[in-house]
Amino acid sequence: MQLPKFLWMADRLAPGSTIGILGGGQLGRMLSLAAARLGLKTHVFDPDPDAPAKDVTAFCTTAAYTDEAALKAFGNAADVITYEFENIPTAALDILEPLAPIRPTREALRISQDRITEKDFLNSLGLKIAPYRAVDTLPDLEAAMAEIGLPAILKTRRFGYDGKGQARITNTSEAPSALASLKGAPAILEGFIDFSREVSVIGTRALSGAVACFDPGENVHENGILATTTLPSHLTSAETQDAVLLAGRILNALDYVGTLGVELFVTKIGLIVNEIAPRVHNSGHWTEAACTVDQFEQHIRAVAGWPLGDGSRHSNAVMENLIGDDIKTAPDTADAMVNIYGKAEARPGRKMGHITRISPKG
């Protein structure tokens, strides 16, 4: 009788085991490289034959997320399954679930796939968030504007990233065009937050339940896309403690295993949670240059059932995203840690790489 794999998954994965990664973009690529340093193999699943992560592993599958046979073969080849993005179709997860443990859990995915579910969850923890209302129709939107007030931001409930699927409303007359811009997708109206800064906390929870958070970084966005993350942030030490504790509460409440990103607004009434991402996060890329163990390795350690590593920060850091043609001069950068994602085409607005400059903590 063949023992089901989950029986021996109670222990940590041995080096040489295989971590299945759903999604082969830059996050999957960096997860794969982190796994490699720990002696773990990875198997990357992505419909795109040119997905960047496929260059850095011997094992990959090119198939649609609806391809049952491909998913089954992938699930059988993996000792544990993780993912680099939150919008994995539920049907794919149904096929994979009996074959290998999925970490982080499906519950974390379910909650973060829909902005309403996510806000409800954060609300249930008593965390401060922006006022919000579900919006499907123009009357919904008008009622929501009346309750929340303007300015406000209309967003799609699902599949939004890097400022896509969003429209700011400052005047009620803009409501119809804002709604039309979302092309009928279910939406959410969020009250506008008057914040002084944006920060994020990247935290990891081990299979044992142990939690470790990296120092909060301060983010600057340009055109809806993260431009820089700077460490240390301008948070007071009390705010830093608040930020880390609330990330820990989210991780525990989700019975989470892996790395999670929490975006926060710093306001006069304290820290407001903007959104969570159940995966490694762009605002945590600085950790590869300024910590012994980075967010990618922490994630791999967690999903492999290993103890978390030392994520303390040895240096100050400024991470700068390389967007579109920014990548052209990256090879000439000699005074920083350079990371180039291996994407063939440098389209405008596309994340092509990042660089991190460190300096002594002083």
Residues that bind a copy of itself (CB under 8 A): 12, 14-16, 29, 32-33, 36-41, 54-58, 60, 289, 292-293, 304, 306-310, 314-315, 327, 330-332, 334-342, 344, 353, 358, 360
Between 37 and 234, CB nearer to a copy of itself: 37
- Closest distance between a copy of itself and the C-beta of residue 354, in Å? 11
- Closest distance between a copy of itself and the C-beta of residue 315, in Å? 6
Between 239 and 288, CB nearer to a copy of itself: 288
Q: How many alpha carbons lie under 13 Å from residue 251 in its C-beta half-sphere?
A: 28
Between 202 and 212, CB nearer to a copy of itself: 212
- Closest distance between a copy of itself and the C-beta of residue 351, in Å? 13
* CA angle 45–48–54, rounded 5-degree value: 55
Between 71 and 206, CB nearer to a copy of itself: 206
- Closest distance between a copy of itself and the C-beta of residue 253, in Å? 24
- Closest distance between a copy of itself and the C-beta of residue 109, in Å? 26
Q: Which of 101, 82, 93 is nearest to 8 (CA)?
A: 101
Between 13 and 95, CB nearer to a copy of itself: 13
- Closest distance between a copy of itself and the C-beta of residue 291, in Å? 10
d(CA 128, CA 273): 6
Beta strand residue intervals within the chain, DSSP E: 18-22, 41-45, 59-61, 80-83, 132-135, 152-156, 166-169, 187-191, 197-205, 211-213, 217-222, 225-231, 258-267, 270-277, 315-323, 337-340, 351-360
How many helices (H) does the chain have, and how many strands (E)? 11, 17
d(CA 235, CA 243): 9
Structure token pair of residue 204: 């990891």
Between 186 and 342, CB nearer to a copy of itself: 342
